[in-house]
Structure 1
Amino acid sequence: MSGKKYYFLGLILLLVSSFALKSKEGKYEEGEKKKPNVLVILTDQWRAQSTGYAGDPNIRTPNLDSLEERSVNFTNAVSGMPVCSPFRASLLTGQRPLTHGVFMNDVQLDTNAVTMGKVFTEAGYKTAYIGKWHLDGHGRLQNVKPGERRQGFQYWKANECTHNYNHSVYYDNDDPERKIWEGYDAFEQTYAAMDYIGHRSEEQDPFLMVLSYGTPHAPYHTAPEAYRNQFDPEKIVLRENVPAEMAEQAKTDLAGYYAHIAALDEMIGRLIRHLKETGEYDNTIILFTSDHGDLLGSHGAYKKQQPYEESVKVPMLMSIPSAMGILTGERDAMINSEDLMPTLLGLCDIGIPSSVEGIDFTPYMEGKAQLGQETLITCVQPFGQWNRVNRGGKEYRGIVTPRYTYTRDLNGPWLLFDNSIDPLQLNNLVGNPAYKALQARLDQRLSERLEETGDEFLPGIEYVNKWGYPLDDTETVPYTN
């Protein structure tokens, strides 16, 4: 679809959805029950395996463990395209990457997209965004200017993208002057969120706030010293799918990775205590998740984009006010990036725009529907920094169920894992005669899902050309610091 057509389609969808939501807008009358607040705690590159409650022997996360005990824990949550910007665009739009067009980093989400910020605002919410944005595509560290480029968020203390966590750039609402968070940015961003919540508790309107941390994404060794000192590389227990030749480096980097996680866990604890102190906790939906994982040596690779569990699976907790009657505990449904927006809207009884492709999991959590038996994983870009062909990267499409992961590359079947008996994904079953029928069945279902979603599975460069994205001589989108 051309940019001009997309522009007008987005505009029409926004007008239609705005009209549909008019009955749910506005101030709350005296005595009327306030809709729930929504707090999205988004981290960067935090894999599902690396929490205390998930059984990681290297890390204690007491605050997240406590949150998990009173949450719906989606143990099979995946990042459908495990890289930063695609996940974030799917979170905000409820669409898959080949629909919203952000299938690689450092490109701009269409300013006419129907987004979470716009829909919640139309429904009478005050909206806020704090931390890493990474959806503007016009050069890192730049100001995402007030207006349409902020996608409906009213309050703003954010940056496009930076990984300098101790000298972190941000912009404060309408002030065009570049500012720097003092010290470790996760601390300062948490304090800013607490300040916002404190002020909102005095108001009648509910809020939607996205608090987007940049960690535990690399550089791994930049957490404050008090947290780094908690982790001795020599004592790190590696996953058994890390090859021996990478063990020393992986242990060193994991020590720094866990230091970031320990700091974030403490900040999440402070944030939740503040919600309780301000009286907002019992009326706040808390979503904790990450945009993708980090291989950190597993399968001989680092970072993300590849279809392995350490890259694709993300932590996902939904703490929902007890008055809403949703039982807590582990759920095995395959919930994906595009499902988060419609699920939050469903929980808040806000109409879901027709542009949304994801699933509202509210009926599933209420025990009224069986959803999430399978989901798709996708990689369009075999030429990004962490997924280049010479590092084993390739385009792929895959289908994931609670038990199996099956992927196909441009040449045909690529990977098949039985995750129940091979959780470390060490035994590729593609071509195994004992699994011939299963492979054929999953391959057929993948073909059906690709047809349903209009995915032709073309070489990645064809999508880049279709959307008109420029690549530099390193085959990445150029940006400036």
Structure 2
Amino acid sequence: MSWEDWSETVRCYYAMITQIDHSFGIISDKLKECGMYDDTLVIYTSDHGDMCGSHGMIDKHYIMYDDVLRIPMIMSYPKLFKNNSVDYRRCDTFVYNALDIPATICEICKIERNPDCHGRSLLSILKGEKPNKEQFPDYTVSASNGQQFGSFTQRSIRTDKYKYIWNLTDIDEFYNLQTDPYELENLIYDSSYTDIISDLRKLLKKELARCFDPFVKSGWLNRTLEENIKL
């Protein structure tokens, strides 16, 4: 499809984002007007992105590209987060579980939460403390169970340099994000990355087991992640 074919879709998508930003600004301005802004925890995030023409695709299904997975996570609470004259902080620590949000809210508000609840509070990294690697490792894991498209079940693991994607019914994917940030060249069969792919597969298996992922019991997944065998 040409740009002319995509332009209206992209224009509408950006217009909706602009509308959301404008509406958010109205709320923010009202909080400041009422003197409540500095004592209000604001969380700005999303459940997913949209391909919006990238890779010639639209929507969010059966894909693990950053266009869909890399979502905003902005938190503002001037009363707690402000650091001298700097009232913002960028954090490059991987955060990939929406369950971390209620855990964070509970800690900030000093609310005791049920010990059975999953999720890790983000308060320490929001305050600029050095991330605990056990709680916040140098990778992020994503899962899609093909709710609308059952045969397109996927699991992925991403570091700051690479991304590996396990596909249930298709070839796997591997991208070098340093040289290919837009994920255009699948290097899964490139022998120069064999060891890296193997390491990522093992790490993905370990993380899926930790999270009690049902596919860990599948010989199909285990053959791929443990033995590097893809049927």
Same fold (TM over 0.5): yes
Aligned amino acid, residue 122 of structure 2: F
Match of 1:369 in 2: 131
- The 1:443–1:330 alpha-carbon spacing in structure 2 relative to 1, beyond 3 Å, is same
Distance in 1 separating the partners of 2:75 and 2:166: 32
Rounded Cα–Cα distance in structure 2 between residues aligned with 1:346 and 1:289: 19
> CA separation of 1:438/1:287 partners in 2, compared to 1, >3 Å: closer, same or farther?
same
The amino acid across from 2:139 in the alignment is E
1:17-44 residue CA offsets vs partner (Å, 9 max, x unmatched): xxxxxxxxxxxxxxxxxxxxxxxxxxxx
Counterpart of 1:329 in 2: which secondary structure? coil
- Asked if the contact 1:376–1:397 (Cα under 8 Å) also holds between the matched residues in 2, the reply is yes
Q: What SS does structure 2 have at the residue aligned with 1:457? A: helix
Is the 8 Å Cα contact of residues 335 and 372 (structure 1) preserved in structure 2?
A: no
**2:19 match:** 263
Matches within 5 A, 1:12-411: 245-305=1-61, 306-325=63-82, 328-336=88-96, 337-366=98-127, 367-370=129-132, 371-381=136-146, 384=148, 387=149, 394-410=152-168
Matched, 1:421 2:186: no
Report Cα offsets for 1:405-440 as digits up to 9, x if no partner.
Answer: 211122586111122321111111212111111101
CA deviation string 1:76-127 (max 9, x = no partner)? xxxxxxxxxxxxxxxxxxxxxxxxxxxxxxxxxxxxxxxxxxxxxxxxxxxx
1: distance between equivalents of 2:13 and 2:76?
25
How big is the shift at 1:329? 2.3
Structure 1 Cα separation of the partners of residues 116 and 106 of structure 2: 13
CA 315–324 in structure 1, closer or farther in 2 if over 3 Å, else same: closer
Q: Conserved in 1, the CA contact under 8 Å of 2:173 and 2:186?
A: yes
Higher RCO (CA-CA < 8 Å; seq separation 6+): 1
Distance 2:125 2:14 in 1: 33
Aligned partner of 2:138: which letter?
Q
2:194 counterpart (436, 441, 454):
436
* Residue of 213, 217, 223 corresponding to 1:455: 213
Alignment-derived partner of residue 225 in structure 2: none
Aligned residue pairs, count: 208
CA distance in 2, matches of 1:444, 1:450: 10
Structure 2 unaligned regions, length at least 5: 218-231
Residues of 1 paired with 2:41 and 2:59: CA distance?
Answer: 30
| Cα 1:248/1:263, change in 2 over 3 Å | same
User: Paired residue for 1:19?
Assistant: none
CA contact (8 A) 2:42 2:77 kept: yes
Return the alpha-carbon distance in structure 2 between the equivalents of residues 318 and 373 of structure 1.
21
* Cα distance between partner residues in 2 of 1:403 and 1:328: 26
- Paired residue type of 1:275: L
Measure the CA separation in 1 of the matches of 2:170 and 2:64.
15
Taking structure 2 as the reference length, the TM-score comes to 0.81
The whole-number CA distance in structure 1 between the counterparts of 2:88 and 2:137 is: 17
Residue 440 of structure 1 aligns with an amino acid whose one-letter code is S
Q: Which AA in structure 1 matches 2:71?
A: V
The residue type equivalent to 2:88 in the other structure is T
Would the alpha carbon gap of residues 290 and 250 (structure 1) be closer, same or farther in structure 2, given more than 3 Å must change? Answer: same
Task: Report the CA distance shift for 1:412/1:444 in structure 2 as closer, same or farther (over 3 A).
Answer: farther
Please give the alpha-carbon distance, in whole angstroms, between the structure 1 residues aligned to 2:28 and 2:213: 41
Rg: which structure is higher?
1
Provide the C-alpha distance between the structure 1 equivalents of 2:112 and 2:106, rounded to a whole number of angstroms. Answer: 7
Q: Matched residue of 2:194: which SS?
A: helix
Q: Percent identity?
A: 27
TM-score, normalised by the number of residues in structure 1: 0.41
Return closer, same or farther for 1:377/1:249 CA change in 2, 3 Å cut-off.
Answer: same
Distance 2:42 2:25 in 1: 12
Structure 2 CA distance for aligned equivalents of residues 357 and 413 of structure 1: 32
